[in-house]
């Protein structure tokens, strides 16, 4: 799916379309005042003060009609430049524009753009005439507090998107439709994977079927990491204030941390696993012979997110990071990263997820550590990407203050991008925790450390997988793999129960639908639940001791012996299909 912000041309027409929206709103609601209307990845929005008026979906249709009318009129868009004083005078009846203007430097030149009867404060750039804005759609409306502060007035935020051609617009609207059908919140409910409760906003509950999926992912994670030479730990959820002071989180991350008192000491619930991991490293002496030391932790973290930002499993207040810290010497960085990239590549390809790598380098001003260490580390990251034959985009100066990083952005089956994996070098924590190892010559040295995740958050990754597969999981992940439907309980149930036992003994996840419902109804239900294999048992199957099944997504019925069926399913699962 397209990112409007990344495309220069689309950026300009979406920005211009926000003004077109504002003009149309002003025609219909003459008292309307406008706050800001930025371009976002998904198009644009405008925050509008309409007094007590709440915009409905029906209103959007009317506004859209007015936008089309203005576009047809085809007025030119004119730029005008004002001094701050002139701008304050011009917009003196508009508290929102005054708010914006007052924050500008006294000697700044302030630009306004006028199209027909409508003038808006703006830096530009815009299209030449409103005629160019033809292929747009208003997508939704929601309330948004002025400046995001719930003590302030609620404004109406109208979202829209604009393209160069009708075809592009229609393709995009089709993708949005498809994305809606795949919404993990909707599918999560229908497939009984997880739930949310008003008693814990942002704290997901995993239901039995979701737990199966989750356990498979976690077991897969442990298996793969064991092969890669990782060891595993589990560190406490709560640790005291002193620790967070040592790690620095107390000073930089305090507002996102939940705290509680234990025996009159302040404790914080961990927002990250790192400090606990550092304490484990310090628990024993380390020799250079142990390096690289790879220590993994599926760590449950809690972070305070604003209630308005919460979104299913994508944005939660508690999640499990598939974390690991790797301790090594400077000379081991490159080889370790090459290995990590190959590892991450292997994991994503199992889910048919492609990805792009971004390399974020040293910030220009705020950073810690020596420049030559940064340079060497960045060079090692670049070399590792080339050695792994992976292209990467550089985000200059976008690294954290404590080290450069590689981010992995996966693309799902709808072409949407999700940042999942990260390899983050850290020059800060080894110093703060005074980590050391004993080198060949017996001297104490400081190890290089990196943090890394592959899924990112297991909860969010499950959300991504639900949408990526549209809930139709491959057999190895499916909570229920096989559904057995006897045509008639009187004649076929015994055989069905016997078959269920055999399949359970093969460690398959099997359900038997013995409800006294019509065959067609039960078959449709099996498809609704997106179960990979639906077995239908009638006279033929009972007499010939075979099974007939349909694979999800296919209308063909295939008949096999029980042995052939089980070996086929085993093959499918072993190959993670
Ligand atoms: Zn503008
Ligand atoms: Zn970490």
DSSP string, 457-475: EHHHHHHHHHHHTTT---T
Question: What is the model's pLDDT at position 154?
Answer: 94
Q: Which ligand is nearest to the CA of 327?
A: 2
Cα separation, 292 vs 425, in Å, equals 14
Cα separation, 163 vs 132, in Å, equals 10
In the chain, the largest separation of any two C-alpha atoms, in whole Å, equals 93
User: Mean pLDDT of all residues in the chain?
Assistant: 95
Q: Is the pLDDT of residue 205 over 90?
A: yes
Question: Would you place residue 283 in the very low, low, confident or very high pLDDT band (cuts 50, 70, 90)?
Answer: very high
In the residue annotation, 182 being an active-site residue is answered as no
Question: Would you place residue 415 in the very low, low, confident or very high pLDDT band (cuts 50, 70, 90)?
Answer: confident
Question: Would you place residue 510 in the very low, low, confident or very high pLDDT band (cuts 50, 70, 90)?
Answer: very high
Q: How far is the CA of 321 from the centre of ligand 2 (A)?
A: 10
Q: How far is the CA of 35 from the centre of ligand 1 (A)?
A: 12
* pLDDT tens readout for residues 521-549: 999 999 999 999 999 999 999 999 999 99
Q: Which ligand is nearest to the CA of 274?
A: 2
What 3-state class would DSSP assign to 507?
A: coil
User: Percent of the chain at pLDDT above 90?
Assistant: 90
User: Percent of the chain at pLDDT above 70?
Assistant: 100
In the residue annotation, 446 being an active-site residue is answered as no
Q: Is the pLDDT of residue 166 over 90?
A: yes
In the residue annotation, 303 being an active-site residue is answered as yes
Average the pLDDT over 435-453 and give the result. 96
What 3-state class would DSSP assign to 237?
A: coil
In the residue annotation, 420 being an active-site residue is answered as no
In the residue annotation, 405 being an active-site residue is answered as yes
Q: Is the pLDDT of residue 2 over 90?
A: no
In the residue annotation, 242 being an active-site residue is answered as no
Q: Would you state the structure tokens that stand for residue 427, as one six-digit string?
A: 């020059």
3-state helix, strand, coil in the chain (%, to 5): 40, 30, 30
Q: Which ligand is nearest to the CA of 14?
A: 1
* pLDDT tens readout for residues 52-97: 999 999 999 999 999 999 999 999 999 999 999 999 999 999 999 9
Question: What is the model's pLDDT at position 388?
Answer: 87
DSSP string, 132-164: G--EEEEEEEEEEEGGG-TTSPEEEEEEEEEES
- Dihedral angle at the C-alpha atoms of 520, 522, 526, 528, nearest 10 degrees? 80
User: Of 451, 452, 500, 522, which residue is the catalytic one?
Assistant: 451
User: Of 5, 189, 254, 303, which residue is the catalytic one?
Assistant: 303
Question: What is the model's pLDDT at position 148?
Answer: 87
Q: How many helical (H) and strand (E) elements, i.e. helices and strands, does the chain have?
A: 18, 28
Q: Is the pLDDT of residue 23 over 90?
A: yes
Q: How far is the CA of 431 from the centre of ligand 2 (A)?
A: 14
pTM: 0.87
- Phi and psi at 543, nearest 5°, equal -70, -40
Question: What is the model's pLDDT at position 308?
Answer: 84
Q: Which residues pair with 392 in a beta bridge?
A: 357
Q: Strand 354-360 and strand 392-395: pairing? A: parallel
Question: Would you place residue 115 in the very low, low, confident or very high pLDDT band (cuts 50, 70, 90)?
Answer: very high
Average the pLDDT over 173-183 and give the result. 93
Q: Is the pLDDT of residue 320 over 90?
A: yes
Average the pLDDT over 426-440 and give the result. 94
The answer to which of 51-55, 228-232, 233-237, 374-378 has the lowest mean pLDDT is 374-378
Question: Would you place residue 367 in the very low, low, confident or very high pLDDT band (cuts 50, 70, 90)?
Answer: confident
Q: Strand 482-486 and strand 510-512: pairing? A: parallel
Average the pLDDT over 155-174 and give the result. 96
Q: Is the pLDDT of residue 370 over 90?
A: no
Average the pLDDT over 491-520 and give the result. 97
Question: What is the model's pLDDT at position 207?
Answer: 98
- Phi and psi at 440, nearest 5°, equal -45, -45
b/e map 366-375, b = 16+ CB within 10 Å: ebebeeeebe
């Amino acid at each position: 799916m397209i990112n409007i912000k990344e495309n220069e041309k689309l950026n300009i027409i979406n920005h211009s379309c926000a003004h077109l929206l504002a003009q149309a709103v002003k025609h219909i609601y003459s008292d309307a005042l406008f706050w800001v209307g930025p371009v976002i990845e998904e198009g644009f929005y405008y925050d509008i003060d309409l007094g007590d008026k709440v915009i409905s979906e029906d209103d959007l249709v009317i506004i859209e009609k007015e936008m089309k009318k203005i576009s047809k009129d085809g007025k030119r868009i004119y730029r005008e430049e004002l001094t701050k004083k002139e701008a304050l005078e011009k917009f003196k009846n508009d508290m929102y524009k005054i708010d914006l203007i007052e924050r500008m430097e006294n000697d700044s030149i302030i630009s306004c753009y006028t199209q027909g009867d409508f003038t808006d404060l703006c830096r530009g750039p815009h299209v030449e005439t409103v005629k160019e804005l033809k292929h747009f759609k208003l997508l939704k409306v929601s309330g948004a507090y002025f400046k995001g502060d719930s003590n302030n007035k609620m404004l109406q935020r109208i979202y829209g998107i604009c393209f160069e051609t009708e075809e592009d617009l229609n393709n995009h609207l089709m993708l949005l439709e498809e994305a809606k059908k795949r919404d993990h919140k909707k599918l999560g409910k229908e497939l009984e994977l997880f739930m949310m409760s008003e008693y814990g906003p942002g704290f997901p509950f995993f239901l039995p079927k979701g737990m199966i999926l989750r356990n498979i992912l976690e077991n897969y994670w442990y298996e793969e990491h064991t092969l890669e030479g990782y060891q595993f730990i589990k560190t406490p959820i709560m640790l005291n204030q002193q620790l967070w002071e040592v790690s620095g989180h107390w000073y930089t991350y305090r507002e996102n941390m939940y705290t509680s008192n234990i025996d009159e000491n302040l404790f914080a619930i961990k927002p990250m696993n790192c400090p606990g991991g550092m304490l484990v490293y310090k628990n024993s002496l380390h020799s250079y012979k142990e390096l690289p030391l790879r220590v993994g932790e599926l760590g449950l973290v809690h972070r305070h997110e604003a209630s308005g930002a919460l979104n299913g499993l994508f944005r939660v207040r508690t999640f499990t990071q598939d974390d690991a810290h790797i301790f090594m010497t400077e000379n081991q960085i490159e080889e370790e990263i090459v290995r990590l990239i190959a590892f991450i590549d292997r994991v994503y390809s199992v889910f048919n997820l492609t990805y792009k790598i971004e390399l974020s380098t040293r910030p220009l001003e705020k950073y810690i550590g020596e420049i030559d260490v940064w340079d060497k580390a960045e060079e090692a990251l670049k070399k590792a990407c080339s050695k792994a034959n992976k292209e990467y985009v550089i985000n200059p100066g976008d690294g954290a203050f404590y080290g450069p990083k590689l981010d992995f952005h996966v693309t799902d089956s709808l072409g949407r991008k999700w940042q999942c994996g990260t390899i983050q070098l850290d020059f800060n924590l080894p110093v703060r925790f005074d980590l050391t190892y004993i080198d060949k010559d017996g001297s104490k040295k400081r190890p290089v450390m990196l943090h890394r995740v592959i899924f990112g958050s297991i909860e969010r990754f499950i959300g991504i997988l639900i949408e990526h597969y549209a809930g139709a999981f491959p057999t190895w992940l499916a909570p229920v793999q096989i559904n057995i439907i006897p045509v008639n309980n009187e004649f076929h149930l015994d055989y069905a129960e016997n078959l269920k036992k055999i399949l359970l003994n093969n460690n398959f996840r099997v359900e038997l639908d013995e409800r006294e419902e019509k065959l067609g109804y039960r078959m449709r239900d099996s498809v609704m639940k997106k179960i990979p294999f639906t077995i239908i048992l009638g006279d033929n199957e009972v007499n010939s001791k075979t099974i007939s099944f349909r694979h999800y997504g296919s209308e063909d019925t295939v008949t096999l012996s029980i042995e052939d069926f089980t070996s086929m399913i085993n093959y499918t699962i072993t190959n993670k299909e």
